[in-house]
């Protein structure tokens, strides 16, 4: 028997997928109506987290943050079955994941942090990617359970907290990418270029395909052998900002990057590869 705590968009769809596969799932949510709604899909809702986890061999949870995980697990603690496995899908800090793994082991339970690169549709369809790291014996035991929930379980090795850190790195990229896309649309609008025009450009010239090669180039260094000089990239950033300003558009990302480029040009790196301004972070 399983329990699932936290019936947000991800949690509720995870439960729907579990019950569709014949799993008996006991659920709880701080807003009781969200848990109650899952009874229409075969789950059993409870008023308290402690009652929801009673008899469960595996307890899943997906809540907001570190503080919410700690609070919910403390509420559930009186009902936890001896030796139960706790699988946390919440995006948290690496420090929090490490501390919880140790603390719950000392209390006689196995805690495994398994954050996901999955949206609600993925949770419902059991697709996407789930990350794990830490005790390989625990992961081997839980992998069949996790594999039923997702398209791919990515085992990152024995380092506790690495899954949490990698999840944050992935989310950072998504946030930064969204900021860059916002600037792209804003610059297009300022120049009378539509979103459809931009889609057409990216359909024919896919900058995403350059990501791995760009990352390798940055990690390798070699800034003295430029493919695009920093001074020239900064010139183009200036053109972007001028065009946006003339068109009444606000850019989110490019002004900050341009300011950092200026610092490196002032330090004498204008003729280096344009990625030199990233070197302190590599």
pLDDT digits (tens, 9 = 90+) for 78-93: 999 999 999 999 999 9
For residue 282, the model assigns a pLDDT of: 74
Q: In what order do the strands lie in the sheet with 110-113?
A: 44-45, 25-28, 2-5, 58-61, 85-88, 110-113
Contact by Cβ (8 Å): 44, 64: no
For residue 117, the model assigns a pLDDT of: 97
Mean pLDDT of the region 184-192: 98
Per-residue pLDDT reduced to its tens digit, 145-175:
999 999 999 999 999 999 999 999 999 999 9
Partners of 154 in beta bridges:
131
For residue 273, the model assigns a pLDDT of: 95
For residue 280, the model assigns a pLDDT of: 87
pLDDT band (50, 70, 90) for residue 46: very high
Average pLDDT score over the chain: 97
> How far apart are alpha carbons 238 and 233 in whole angstroms?
9
Query: Which tokens hold the place of 71?
Result: 């609070």
Query: Which tokens hold the place of 76?
Result: 């559930």
281 pLDDT higher than 90: no
Place of tokens 């799993």: 23
Q: How many degrees, rounded to 5, is the angle at CA 232 between CA 270 and CA 238?
A: 110
Mean pLDDT of the region 244-268: 97
Mean pLDDT of the region 115-134: 97
For residue 58, the model assigns a pLDDT of: 98
CA dihedral for 22, 113, 35, 13, sign (positive or negative): negative
Of all residues in the chain, the percent with pLDDT exceeding 70 is 100
6 pLDDT higher than 80: yes
> How far apart are alpha carbons 152 and 108 in whole angstroms?
29
């Amino acid at each position: 028997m399983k329990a699932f705590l936290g019936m947000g968009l991800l949690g509720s769809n995870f439960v729907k997928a579990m019950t569709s596969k014949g799993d008996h799932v006991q659920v709880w949510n701080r807003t009781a109506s969200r848990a109650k709604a899952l009874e229409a899909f075969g789950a059993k809702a409870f008023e308290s987290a402690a009652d929801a986890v009673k008899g469960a061999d595996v307890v899943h949870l997906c809540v907001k943050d570190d503080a919410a995980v700690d609070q919910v697990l403390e509420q559930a603690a009186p009902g936890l079955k001896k030796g139960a496995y706790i699988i946390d899908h919440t995006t948290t800090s690496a420090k929090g994941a490490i501390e919880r793994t140790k603390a719950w082991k000392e209390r006689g339970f196995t805690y495994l942090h398994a954050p996901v690169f999955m949206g609600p549709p993925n949770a419902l369809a059991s697709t996407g990617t789930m990350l794990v790291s830490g005790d390989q014996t625990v992961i081997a035991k839980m992998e069949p359970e996790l594999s039923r929930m997702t398209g791919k379980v990515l085992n990152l090795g024995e380092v506790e907290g690495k899954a949490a850190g990698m999840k944050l790195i992935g989310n950072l990229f998504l946030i930064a990418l969204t900021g860059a896309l916002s600037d792209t649309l804003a610059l297009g609008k300022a120049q009378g270029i539509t979103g459809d025009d931009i889609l057409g450009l990216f359909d024919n010239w896919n900058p995403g395909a350059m990501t791995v090669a760009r990352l390798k180039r940055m990690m390798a260094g070699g800034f003295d052998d430029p493919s695009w000089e920093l001074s020239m990239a900064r010139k183009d950033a200036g053109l972007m900002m001028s065009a946006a300003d003339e068109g009444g558009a606000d850019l989110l990302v490019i002004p900050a990057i341009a300011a950092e480029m200026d610092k490196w040009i002032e330090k004498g790196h204008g003729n280096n590869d344009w990625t030199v301004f990233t070197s302190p972070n590599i």
